[in-house]
Amino acid sequence: MSALRHTLTRRRLMAGAAAVSGSLVLPSLARAESTMARIMKDGVVRVGIANEKPYGFVDTDGKVKGAIPDVIAAVLAPHGVKELKAEIVEFNALIPGINADRFDVIGAGMYIRPARCEAVLFSNPVTRTGAGFAAAKGNPKGVKSVADLAAHADAIVGTQNGAAQVEELAKAGVPTDRVVLFANATEALAGLKAGRCDVIYFPALELNELLKTANDPGVERVEGFKQIMGANGEPEYGYAGLGLRKADTDLKEALDAELAKLLSSGKLLDIISQYGYGKDELPDGVMTAEQICKA
Protein backbone atom coordinates (compact mmCIF):
# COMPACT_ATOMS: atom_id res chain seq x y z
CA MET A 1 0.00 0.00 0.00
CA SER A 2 1.43 3.45 -0.90
CA ALA A 3 1.89 6.15 1.76
CA LEU A 4 -0.88 8.22 0.11
CA ARG A 5 -3.33 5.32 0.04
CA HIS A 6 -2.48 4.51 3.68
CA THR A 7 -3.19 8.12 4.65
CA LEU A 8 -6.46 8.24 2.76
CA THR A 9 -7.60 4.94 4.20
CA ARG A 10 -6.79 6.11 7.71
CA ARG A 11 -8.66 9.39 7.20
CA ARG A 12 -11.76 7.60 5.86
CA LEU A 13 -11.65 5.21 8.78
CA MET A 14 -11.48 8.07 11.27
CA ALA A 15 -14.31 9.87 9.54
CA GLY A 16 -16.44 6.75 9.58
CA ALA A 17 -15.76 6.21 13.23
CA ALA A 18 -16.87 9.73 14.06
CA ALA A 19 -20.13 9.19 12.21
CA VAL A 20 -21.31 6.19 14.18
CA SER A 21 -23.29 6.38 17.38
CA GLY A 22 -21.32 7.09 20.56
CA SER A 23 -22.55 3.80 21.96
CA LEU A 24 -20.72 1.84 19.23
CA VAL A 25 -17.01 1.18 18.82
CA LEU A 26 -14.95 -0.31 16.04
CA PRO A 27 -14.03 -3.96 16.59
CA SER A 28 -10.31 -3.06 16.72
CA LEU A 29 -11.01 -0.63 19.56
CA ALA A 30 -13.17 -3.01 21.58
CA ARG A 31 -12.26 -3.91 25.17
CA ALA A 32 -9.25 -6.22 25.37
CA GLU A 33 -9.93 -9.87 26.07
CA SER A 34 -9.82 -10.69 29.79
CA THR A 35 -7.31 -13.14 31.23
CA MET A 36 -10.15 -15.48 32.20
CA ALA A 37 -11.61 -15.43 28.68
CA ARG A 38 -8.23 -16.07 27.10
CA ILE A 39 -7.25 -19.03 29.28
CA MET A 40 -10.69 -20.58 28.79
CA LYS A 41 -10.36 -20.16 25.02
CA ASP A 42 -6.77 -21.41 24.80
CA GLY A 43 -6.98 -24.04 27.55
CA VAL A 44 -3.59 -22.83 28.83
CA VAL A 45 -2.65 -20.85 31.94
CA ARG A 46 0.77 -19.29 32.51
CA VAL A 47 1.97 -19.81 36.06
CA GLY A 48 4.74 -17.82 37.74
CA ILE A 49 6.88 -19.90 40.10
CA ALA A 50 10.13 -19.44 42.03
CA ASN A 51 11.15 -23.08 41.40
CA GLU A 52 10.90 -24.00 45.08
CA LYS A 53 9.68 -27.22 46.64
CA PRO A 54 7.03 -27.97 47.78
CA TYR A 55 5.24 -24.91 46.35
CA GLY A 56 5.93 -24.83 42.61
CA PHE A 57 8.85 -26.23 40.65
CA VAL A 58 9.85 -27.73 37.30
CA ASP A 59 10.66 -31.40 37.72
CA THR A 60 13.36 -33.36 35.90
CA ASP A 61 10.80 -34.32 33.24
CA GLY A 62 10.28 -30.65 32.43
CA LYS A 63 6.74 -30.52 33.84
CA VAL A 64 5.58 -27.95 36.36
CA LYS A 65 4.68 -29.57 39.68
CA GLY A 66 4.10 -28.64 43.30
CA ALA A 67 1.21 -28.13 45.68
CA ILE A 68 0.19 -24.75 44.28
CA PRO A 69 0.35 -25.56 40.53
CA ASP A 70 -1.58 -28.78 41.21
CA VAL A 71 -4.29 -26.74 42.94
CA ILE A 72 -4.33 -24.26 40.03
CA ALA A 73 -4.80 -27.15 37.60
CA ALA A 74 -7.68 -28.52 39.69
CA VAL A 75 -9.57 -25.24 40.07
CA LEU A 76 -9.23 -24.30 36.39
CA ALA A 77 -9.97 -27.74 34.92
CA PRO A 78 -13.76 -27.13 35.12
CA HIS A 79 -13.16 -24.03 32.98
CA GLY A 80 -11.44 -25.91 30.19
CA VAL A 81 -7.81 -25.42 31.19
CA LYS A 82 -5.71 -28.46 30.30
CA GLU A 83 -2.15 -27.12 30.36
CA LEU A 84 0.07 -25.15 32.74
CA LYS A 85 3.09 -23.31 31.39
CA ALA A 86 5.70 -22.32 33.97
CA GLU A 87 7.64 -19.07 34.05
CA ILE A 88 10.48 -19.24 36.57
CA VAL A 89 11.58 -16.02 38.29
CA GLU A 90 13.11 -15.15 41.65
CA PHE A 91 10.54 -14.87 44.42
CA ASN A 92 10.81 -11.09 44.76
CA ALA A 93 10.23 -10.76 40.99
CA LEU A 94 6.86 -12.55 41.04
CA ILE A 95 4.70 -9.49 41.67
CA PRO A 96 6.51 -7.30 39.10
CA GLY A 97 6.35 -10.25 36.70
CA ILE A 98 2.60 -10.75 36.86
CA ASN A 99 1.99 -7.02 36.55
CA ALA A 100 4.20 -7.02 33.46
CA ASP A 101 1.96 -9.79 31.98
CA ARG A 102 4.72 -12.42 32.02
CA PHE A 103 2.24 -14.92 33.50
CA ASP A 104 -1.40 -15.14 34.62
CA VAL A 105 -1.24 -16.55 38.16
CA ILE A 106 1.41 -16.52 40.88
CA GLY A 107 1.69 -20.16 41.90
CA ALA A 108 4.48 -19.98 44.48
CA GLY A 109 2.84 -20.29 47.91
CA MET A 110 2.91 -16.51 48.38
CA TYR A 111 1.49 -15.27 51.67
CA ILE A 112 -1.37 -12.81 51.50
CA ARG A 113 0.03 -9.65 53.13
CA PRO A 114 -1.47 -6.14 53.27
CA ALA A 115 1.50 -4.58 51.46
CA ARG A 116 1.23 -7.15 48.65
CA CYS A 117 -2.52 -6.59 48.42
CA GLU A 118 -1.78 -3.06 47.23
CA ALA A 119 -0.01 -4.46 44.17
CA VAL A 120 -1.93 -7.63 43.30
CA LEU A 121 -5.27 -9.34 43.81
CA PHE A 122 -5.30 -12.57 45.82
CA SER A 123 -7.60 -15.56 45.74
CA ASN A 124 -8.89 -16.80 49.07
CA PRO A 125 -6.30 -18.88 50.97
CA VAL A 126 -5.06 -22.17 49.56
CA THR A 127 -2.93 -23.13 52.58
CA ARG A 128 -2.13 -22.01 56.11
CA THR A 129 1.36 -22.61 57.48
CA GLY A 130 3.64 -21.81 60.38
CA ALA A 131 7.38 -21.18 60.23
CA GLY A 132 10.55 -22.55 61.76
CA PHE A 133 14.28 -22.24 62.23
CA ALA A 134 17.13 -24.42 61.06
CA ALA A 135 20.56 -24.16 62.66
CA ALA A 136 23.88 -25.92 62.90
CA LYS A 137 23.60 -29.12 64.93
CA GLY A 138 22.90 -28.32 68.56
CA ASN A 139 21.62 -24.78 67.80
CA PRO A 140 24.73 -23.04 69.21
CA LYS A 141 23.00 -19.67 69.78
CA GLY A 142 20.05 -21.34 71.53
CA VAL A 143 17.39 -19.20 69.83
CA LYS A 144 13.94 -20.79 69.52
CA SER A 145 11.74 -17.88 68.45
CA VAL A 146 11.84 -14.59 66.62
CA ALA A 147 11.57 -12.92 70.04
CA ASP A 148 14.73 -14.77 71.11
CA LEU A 149 16.48 -13.41 68.03
CA ALA A 150 15.45 -9.84 68.81
CA ALA A 151 16.69 -10.19 72.40
CA HIS A 152 19.99 -11.85 71.50
CA ALA A 153 22.96 -9.52 71.20
CA ASP A 154 24.61 -11.07 68.17
CA ALA A 155 22.50 -13.88 66.68
CA ILE A 156 22.25 -13.49 62.90
CA VAL A 157 19.29 -14.84 60.91
CA GLY A 158 19.04 -15.62 57.22
CA THR A 159 15.86 -15.66 55.15
CA GLN A 160 14.62 -15.06 51.61
CA ASN A 161 14.58 -11.65 50.00
CA GLY A 162 10.98 -10.50 49.54
CA ALA A 163 9.49 -13.19 51.81
CA ALA A 164 6.93 -12.52 54.54
CA GLN A 165 9.56 -13.53 57.11
CA VAL A 166 11.49 -10.31 56.40
CA GLU A 167 8.50 -8.27 57.55
CA GLU A 168 7.98 -10.52 60.59
CA LEU A 169 11.59 -10.09 61.70
CA ALA A 170 11.37 -6.31 61.38
CA LYS A 171 8.08 -6.22 63.27
CA ALA A 172 9.63 -8.23 66.10
CA GLY A 173 12.49 -5.77 66.39
CA VAL A 174 15.32 -7.81 64.88
CA PRO A 175 17.84 -5.19 63.61
CA THR A 176 18.39 -5.21 59.86
CA ASP A 177 22.15 -5.56 60.36
CA ARG A 178 21.47 -9.00 61.87
CA VAL A 179 19.31 -10.16 58.94
CA VAL A 180 21.01 -11.69 55.87
CA LEU A 181 18.83 -11.91 52.75
CA PHE A 182 19.28 -14.71 50.23
CA ALA A 183 17.72 -15.33 46.81
CA ASN A 184 16.18 -18.64 47.92
CA ALA A 185 16.19 -21.32 50.62
CA THR A 186 19.00 -23.33 49.04
CA GLU A 187 21.31 -20.30 49.12
CA ALA A 188 20.24 -19.58 52.71
CA LEU A 189 21.19 -23.10 53.76
CA ALA A 190 24.58 -22.68 52.07
CA GLY A 191 24.99 -19.41 53.94
CA LEU A 192 24.18 -21.12 57.23
CA LYS A 193 26.74 -23.84 56.59
CA ALA A 194 29.31 -21.21 55.63
CA GLY A 195 28.76 -19.34 58.90
CA ARG A 196 27.12 -16.27 57.40
CA CYS A 197 24.18 -16.66 59.78
CA ASP A 198 23.32 -18.64 62.92
CA VAL A 199 19.79 -19.72 61.96
CA ILE A 200 17.64 -19.56 58.85
CA TYR A 201 13.96 -18.67 59.06
CA PHE A 202 11.47 -20.13 56.56
CA PRO A 203 7.95 -21.58 56.34
CA ALA A 204 7.94 -24.98 58.05
CA LEU A 205 7.13 -27.07 54.99
CA GLU A 206 9.79 -25.41 52.88
CA LEU A 207 12.29 -25.96 55.68
CA ASN A 208 11.38 -29.65 55.90
CA GLU A 209 11.83 -30.11 52.15
CA LEU A 210 15.12 -28.20 52.21
CA LEU A 211 16.63 -30.31 55.00
CA LYS A 212 15.35 -33.54 53.48
CA THR A 213 17.00 -32.71 50.17
CA ALA A 214 20.25 -31.56 51.81
CA ASN A 215 20.46 -34.68 53.99
CA ASP A 216 23.26 -33.05 56.02
CA PRO A 217 23.73 -34.23 59.63
CA GLY A 218 25.48 -30.94 60.38
CA VAL A 219 22.24 -28.93 60.19
CA GLU A 220 18.90 -29.54 61.86
CA ARG A 221 15.43 -28.18 62.40
CA VAL A 222 15.29 -26.25 65.68
CA GLU A 223 13.05 -28.21 68.03
CA GLY A 224 10.61 -26.35 70.26
CA PHE A 225 10.33 -23.38 67.89
CA LYS A 226 7.70 -20.90 69.13
CA GLN A 227 5.44 -19.36 66.51
CA ILE A 228 4.88 -15.62 66.49
CA MET A 229 1.79 -14.81 68.56
CA GLY A 230 -0.93 -12.48 67.33
CA ALA A 231 -2.76 -9.76 69.24
CA ASN A 232 -5.44 -12.34 70.15
CA GLY A 233 -2.88 -14.52 71.89
CA GLU A 234 -3.07 -17.21 69.21
CA PRO A 235 -0.21 -18.31 66.91
CA GLU A 236 0.01 -16.31 63.71
CA TYR A 237 -0.02 -18.32 60.51
CA GLY A 238 0.82 -17.39 56.96
CA TYR A 239 -2.11 -17.75 54.56
CA ALA A 240 -0.99 -18.39 50.99
CA GLY A 241 -3.19 -17.46 48.05
CA LEU A 242 -2.98 -17.30 44.27
CA GLY A 243 -1.74 -13.91 43.08
CA LEU A 244 -3.52 -12.20 40.17
CA ARG A 245 -3.52 -8.89 38.38
CA LYS A 246 -5.83 -6.31 39.94
CA ALA A 247 -8.08 -6.26 36.86
CA ASP A 248 -8.71 -10.01 36.91
CA THR A 249 -11.72 -9.98 39.23
CA ASP A 250 -13.62 -12.56 37.15
CA LEU A 251 -10.68 -14.95 37.42
CA LYS A 252 -10.59 -14.44 41.20
CA GLU A 253 -14.31 -15.15 41.44
CA ALA A 254 -13.88 -18.42 39.54
CA LEU A 255 -10.86 -19.48 41.60
CA ASP A 256 -12.55 -18.71 44.92
CA ALA A 257 -15.65 -20.70 43.98
CA GLU A 258 -13.63 -23.76 42.96
CA LEU A 259 -11.30 -23.51 45.99
CA ALA A 260 -14.31 -23.59 48.30
CA LYS A 261 -15.53 -26.76 46.58
CA LEU A 262 -12.14 -28.44 46.91
CA LEU A 263 -11.91 -27.56 50.58
CA SER A 264 -15.41 -28.76 51.49
CA SER A 265 -15.06 -32.00 49.51
CA GLY A 266 -11.70 -32.93 51.02
CA LYS A 267 -10.01 -32.84 47.60
CA LEU A 268 -7.81 -29.90 48.57
CA LEU A 269 -6.13 -32.01 51.25
CA ASP A 270 -5.75 -34.88 48.77
CA ILE A 271 -3.86 -32.59 46.42
CA ILE A 272 -1.54 -30.83 48.86
CA SER A 273 -0.85 -33.90 51.03
CA GLN A 274 1.24 -35.32 48.18
CA TYR A 275 3.75 -32.56 48.96
CA GLY A 276 3.94 -32.98 52.73
CA TYR A 277 1.01 -30.80 53.77
CA GLY A 278 -1.37 -32.09 56.43
CA LYS A 279 -4.72 -31.08 57.92
CA ASP A 280 -3.01 -28.36 59.95
CA GLU A 281 -1.99 -26.67 56.72
CA LEU A 282 -5.53 -26.38 55.35
CA PRO A 283 -7.10 -22.90 55.38
CA ASP A 284 -9.87 -22.52 57.93
CA GLY A 285 -12.46 -21.65 55.27
CA VAL A 286 -13.38 -18.53 57.21
CA MET A 287 -10.59 -16.04 56.53
CA THR A 288 -10.99 -14.47 53.10
CA ALA A 289 -8.26 -12.71 51.17
CA GLU A 290 -10.03 -9.42 51.76
CA GLN A 291 -10.02 -9.93 55.55
CA ILE A 292 -6.34 -10.85 55.56
CA CYS A 293 -5.49 -7.86 53.38
CA LYS A 294 -7.03 -5.56 56.00
CA ALA A 295 -5.34 -7.23 58.98
* DSSP string of 93-144, one letter each residue: GHHHHHHTTS-SEE-S--B--HHHHTTSEEPSPSEEE-EEEEEETT-TT---
Residue 13 has what pLDDT?
Answer: 38
Q: Name the domain boundary from 189, 221, 253.
A: 221
Report d(CA 136, CA 199) in Å as an integer. Answer: 7
> How does pLDDT run across 112-151, given as a tens digit for each residue?
999 999 999 999 999 999 999 999 999 999 999 999 999 9
Q: How many domains does the chain have?
A: 2
Residue 13 lies in a domain: no
Residue 114 lies in a domain: yes
- My answer on whether 107 and 246 are in the same domain is yes
**Do residues 128 and 239 make contact, with C-beta atoms less than 8 angstroms apart?**
yes
Confidence of residue 267 (pLDDT cuts 50, 70, 90): very high
Residue 147 has what pLDDT?
Answer: 94
Output the domain CATH number for residue 252: 3.40.190.10
Report d(CA 120, CA 115) in Å as an integer. Answer: 9
How are beta strands 243-244 and 121-122 bridged, if at all?
Answer: antiparallel
Report d(CA 131, CA 236) in Å as an integer. Answer: 9
Residue 17 lies in a domain: no
Query: What residues contact residue 153 under an 8 Å CB cut-off, 6+ apart?
Result: none
* Domain coverage including residue 75: 35-128+238-294
Neighbours of 133 (CB within 10 A): 27
Q: Name the domain boundary from 160, 186, 221.
A: 221
- My answer on whether 146 and 281 are in the same domain is no
DSSP one-letter code for 222: P
Residue 232 has what pLDDT?
Answer: 80
pTM for the whole thing? 0.78
> How does pLDDT run across 56-100, given as a tens digit for each residue?
999 999 899 999 999 999 999 999 999 999 999 999 999 999 999
